[in-house]
Amino acid sequence: MTTFPAIPYLEWVVGRADEATFDLATSDLRVAADDGGVVPPILAGLSDPVDESLVSQLAARYDVPESWVLVTAGASSANFLASCALLDHSGRPGDVDDDHEDDSEDHPRPQVLVEKPGYQPLSAVPDALGARVDRFVRPPEYDYDIEPHRIDGAKSDSFTYAVVTNRHNPSGRLASRAELAELAHVVGEAGGSLLVDEVYAPYVDPAHDGPFGGETAAGLPNVVTTGSLTKFYGLGGLRIGWIIADPAIVERARSASLYLPSVADPSRKLARRALHHSERLESTAREHFSANHERLASFVADRSNVSGRIHAGGTFAFLSHDDYDGDEVADAAWERGVLVVPGRFFDAPEAFRVALGGTPEEMAAALDVFGEVLDDLAT
């Protein structure tokens, strides 16, 4: 038995961004080039907060008690630990003495429902932890809407939790708090919890009233949310993420975190600095992603053979070509040094994902070359 099987998307993408001449796959808002120093350039020379911990800063952001916050080594760690906590909290953990695939009527594995199309690691993690992973559809024909009734259609007696991303990865659709509340209610009525990965939730302009100016499901009944400084702040090198949840879930996640590397103290201190100067960083980020949104929207609007909605404020989208599938488009782009992601990694082989995370100037150049790739395919 392989406890942690390979995650095809991560195996495929690792290293490619460094090899690519034009990166249209990475969604982090890369606000400044790495100068090789320890301190990210955007934080260099800024003051540190005096009597604020990172936990207290996040608790204030989400308007929750500090007991609701767990800082983790990035969003991937947050999602992993949230899965551990939710499966443990269910009281129906997988039987480690049995084969991973055993799922008898008398001893069903806990069921986890993951959105489809979806980000591959969110399915891989509960599967590796011994859960039975099933999918519920966010239909492209309905603009990848969250349809709570699909939970009832997919759940089993061992249903434990459901997973969504907001913004939805890969389409970029942003769900409102009201939509998430409705989904959380249906999930709760089914006896489960809702895990919402909110790393893209701050991609909103103008800013909303929520944490980081975005939408959040934090504080709703039966809900666990995760976030990080990687995407919106462009500080992936710090590896700072977090879980916002009921203290019982947080404590289970904290216990599970003892099996993983702890959060580095320098990263924690730099994250405190970033949040202390959040107004400045977030203003820059909004200018950045708004410019990239306009570029992506114009690019798609000008191409009759490419379809897919660019959601308001979105800097990434799930697109399709009239004549070629996602792998064919991605392979042709790669031959020209352009990195885009084949849709097979998001449950839709006919599509491809384009993301604009670099500076507007870099992304304009990347789209020019990608446009030439698409023109060549049309001839």
Q: How far apart are CA 171 and CA 348, in angstroms?
A: 11
- Residues facing residue 351 across a β-bridge: 320
More confident call, 91 vs 198: 198
Looking at residue 159, its pLDDT comes to: 97
Looking at residue 30, its pLDDT comes to: 83
pLDDT, tens digit, 9 for 90 and up, residues 220-229: 999 999 999 9
Looking at residue 2, its pLDDT comes to: 61
Confidence band for 108, pLDDT divided at 50, 70 and 90? confident
Mean pLDDT, the chain, rounded, equals: 93
Looking at residue 147, its pLDDT comes to: 95
More confident call, 75 vs 2: 75
Looking at residue 105, its pLDDT comes to: 64
Tell me the whole-structure pTM to 2 decimals: 0.94
Q: What proportion of the chain, given as a percentage, has pLDDT over 70?
A: 93
Q: How far apart are CA 219 and CA 217, in angstroms?
A: 6
Is the confidence at residue 102, as pLDDT, over 80?
no
Looking at residue 3, its pLDDT comes to: 74
Looking at residue 344, its pLDDT comes to: 97
CB distance 108 to 93 below 8 Å: no
- Give the chain's domains with CATH numbers: 8-36+279-378 (3.90.1150.10), 48-276 (3.40.640.10)
State the DSSP code for 357. Answer: -
Looking at residue 95, its pLDDT comes to: 43
**Is the N-terminal amide bond of 167 cis, ω within 30° of 0?**
yes
Q: Which two tokens stand for residue 134?
A: 């099933």
* Mean pLDDT computed over 181-206: 97
Is the confidence at residue 63, as pLDDT, over 50?
yes
pLDDT, tens digit, 9 for 90 and up, residues 142-176: 999 999 999 999 999 999 999 999 999 999 999 99
Is the confidence at residue 101, as pLDDT, over 90?
no
More confident call, 8 vs 100: 8
Looking at residue 103, its pLDDT comes to: 62
Q: Which two tokens stand for residue 356?
A: 């604009």
Sequence-distant (≥ 6) Cβ neighbours of residue 50 within 8 angstroms: none
More confident call, 205 vs 103: 205
* Mean pLDDT computed over 285-298: 96
pLDDT, tens digit, 9 for 90 and up, residues 356-375: 999 999 999 999 999 999 99
Q: Which two tokens stand for residue 170?
A: 């890969």
CB distance 343 to 275 below 8 Å: no
Looking at residue 97, its pLDDT comes to: 44
Confidence band for 353, pLDDT divided at 50, 70 and 90? very high
